[in-house]
Structure 1
Amino acid sequence: MTYLILAIFFLGYLAIALEHTMKINKAASALLIGVVCWAIYVVNLDQLLPSGAIPSWFLAEAASERIENIHQTFAIESQHLHLTGEIASILFF
């Protein structure tokens, strides 16, 4: 799955680089790359996110809140929201 995500990223990056010749908007290509890569990542969390990658503070918080699917919650709440916030701060400011 890692190679699939990398292949999609590089093809999308190529589409961004060849924007004028392909007549495709850079923003559309970038959004499509992001959505597809995150979707593949979330669907295959068991393979792509090892248990040791989740910090102990998150495991303790998840246990206190009785969260059942810790991998998915970590990927969405800690990774996705954090990275989306970083990207948004770059775009907005």
Structure 2
Amino acid sequence: MSFGIQTTEFWLDVALNRTKFVKAFEAHFQGGKAENLPVVPDAKPGYLLFHLHVPLERKDELAPFLERYARVHSAENKWKPANSHPFSRHS
């Protein structure tokens, strides 16, 4: 069993409640963490930058979770990967 963490950056539309998102994420991914990062205000107007820390054994659930969250909250396509390749950090 792997005990590593995969960290992925993504942008969340500001129309979504960041506190509710963090709670939903951390409830779904036990041992995971959603971290809202400060960015330069004009970096990507209308979006919040997050690092999502997901246990490696559950990394395949991340994209479906984000898509489902956006659908449920009437925010389709309101999250966007910050880049096309997530980076990993093993702990």
TM-score of the superposed pair, with normalisation by structure 2: 0.32
The structure where helix makes up a greater share of residues is 1
Structure having the higher Rg:
1
Larger RCO: 1 or 2 (CA < 8 Å, sep 6+): 2
